[in-house]
Chains A and B, each alone.
Chain A
Amino acid sequence: MNIEITDLTRRFGRNQAVAGVSLQAGPGVFGLLGPNGAGKTTTIEILEGYRTRDGGDVEVLGFDPERAGSAFRERIGVVLQQSQLWPNLTVAETHRMFAGYYEHPRNVDEVIVLVGLAEKRDARVKTLSGGQKRRLDLGVALVGDPDLVFLDEPTTGFDPAARRAAWDMIRSLRSLGKTILLTTHYLDEAEQLADRLAVLREGVIIREGTPAELTAGSNETEVRYREDGQDVVVRTTEPTKLLQRLTTEALAEGRELEGLSVRRPTLEDVYLSLTAEHEE
């Protein structure tokens, strides 16, 4: 396992940002999902070595990030939630500058092509769009040829096309056998990319598994149809029984169940019900 966390805790003043998180991640994409303030960024920044922890064990690539030095940083790539780069350097120069920090950097031009900035190779960073700047962040994170990549909300503010392009990039990273830790509050993104997911709320993991396991974990099915011009929505744990009753009644009365649909809960439904539970 490239990331192993046991009982991680971290408090800021009176705010218990992380309250006992345990997780393991190997090659592939591990998604950390949760509302703002759930502890995603604190967790990822502890793994990156930015934050100390109050308690628990953390091992990343065999290092304790709190004490790790250059040997650890040779092997990680980081996209921060918010950061900018030098406005007056070009895309290629920015990559070259970062490449110089690593023992075995990747070819700069290859990385620029990989993140889709080939046309902007010699453009100053200040002339890039928001999405292009985010791709530059990603390119700079990849230039050291890391084994483990941290992506903290990498597609926030992207238009749909840019998001799809970013997803393709992340998939190609995964196919290279990298470990990717991704935080996001976009559910479709987590569902599309993550091999495993953990949902964080108030500093604890409230659900963990593959996207399929998470949606399977909820045993409610939603049945919709129209009756007397009104939409009817029924949630049931026994859809077979319900459907049989509905269809039998309808057949007996000789009417059609208009607009009938049977839907498994999406990850979004699961997520919303998980993260909302507490507020009720």
Chain B
Amino acid sequence: MRLLRHQLKWEQRLFWRSRESAVFVFLFPILLFALLTAVYNGHIDGRPASWGLLAGMIGYGAANTAFAGLAITLVSRREIGILKRIRATPLPPAVYLTAVLVSIMIVFAIQVASLFALGRLLKSTPWPTHLLSLVLSLALGAAVFAALGLAITGFIRSLEGSSAVLNVIVLPAAFLTGSFGPTRHYPKVLRAIGDVLPLKYLLDLIKGIYLHGQQFWDKPLAIGVLAGWGIFGMVVALRTFRWEPREG
């Protein structure tokens, strides 16, 4: 427990001190939200557009922070030998990874709070009502994306390519699943792709709760699909996660 607190403190310091992570991981979804709400007015599905965009940006934030941000952090540490070096210390690997995961959850939580506050400020979006349901949904979503983030590190060979690869995954996924606006008018093929992605089901949960007053447990299908993706991520991560840089 002492070790976990120690590492968590340093993980937070490392995150906020790095311009790359603070800007691209934390700030980017918030900036995007500010831009999109400035452009879209009017209504989507009978609610002000800004409400839906807020929900969409929270989902995109989950993918960007817990999946892409986590994966970039771990790949860069692996490739410069930090992960290997840490393994020679008494800090247990499980405690280390837990600290990294909890730290990224904290970043995501602050990001979500900032999005609600900014929405309130710019567009008078309402505060969320079913708080417990929202927290459960976001915790599930972040955990699923973190598992997938751990899993994908095994497939990224170098630090140079990692950010590009992850953006090529996250941005189209966010677009296809409706983070940036409704997908109803998309071609069938694109909607079909979006329908298998985990972000789609996290957005279902968030929109159901925030826009339509539903509860977490009203969406068993979304919970099931997310859990499936999470288990898939864990299994792949257990098989492919590496602590050491590539040889040579």
Contacts and interface: CB of A to CB of B under 8 A. Distances in A.
A76 B88 CA distance: 8
A118 B7 CA distance: 25
Contacts of B84: 50, 80, 83
A101 B244 CA distance: 20
Interface class of chain A by DSSP:
loop
A145 to B, nearest CB: 12
A88 interface: yes
A101 B80 CA distance: 20
Contact of A73 (B7, B82, B88, B245): B88
A116 interface: no
Contact of B17 (A69, A88, A100): A88
B182 to A, nearest CB: 40
A74 interface: yes
Given A70-B90, A70-B92, A144-B90, A85 B85 contact: yes
B43 interface: no
Contact of A89 (B17, B89, B90): B17
B63 to A, nearest CB: 25
Contact of B6 (A48, A70, A93, A100): A100
A102 B17 contact: no
Nearest to A94: B10
A88 B18 contact: yes
Contacts of B7: 100
Contact of B81 (A69, A82, A100, A144): A82
Nearest to B245: A82
Nearest to B16: A88
B85 A78 contact: yes
B231 interface: no
Nearest to A70: B90
A98 interface: yes
A98 B80 contact: no
A102 B6 CA distance: 11
A216 interface: no
Nearest to A75: B90
A86 interface: yes
Contacts of B244: 50
B188 to A, nearest CB: 47
B92 A89 contact: no
A49 interface: yes
Given A85-B82, A88-B17, A48 B88 contact: yes
Contacts of A175: none
B171 to A, nearest CB: 26
A78 B244 CA distance: 15
B66 to A, nearest CB: 21
A97 interface: yes
A140 B88 CA distance: 11
A84 interface: yes
A83 B82 contact: yes
Given A80-B85, A83-B84, A84-B81, A101 B90 contact: yes
Most interface-central of B6, B17, B82, B90 (chain A CB within 10 A): B90
B28 to A, nearest CB: 19
Contact of A101 (B14, B91, B245): B91
B120 interface: no
Interface in A40-79: 48-50, 69-71, 73-74, 76, 78
A18 B87 CA distance: 23
A88 B18 CA distance: 7
Contact of A84 (B10, B82, B88): B82
5 nearest A-B residue pairs (beta carbon): A83-B81, A70-B90, A78-B88, A100-B6, A84-B80
9 contacts: A50-B84, A50-B87, A69-B92, A82-B245, A83-B80, A89-B13, A93-B13, A100-B3, A102-B89
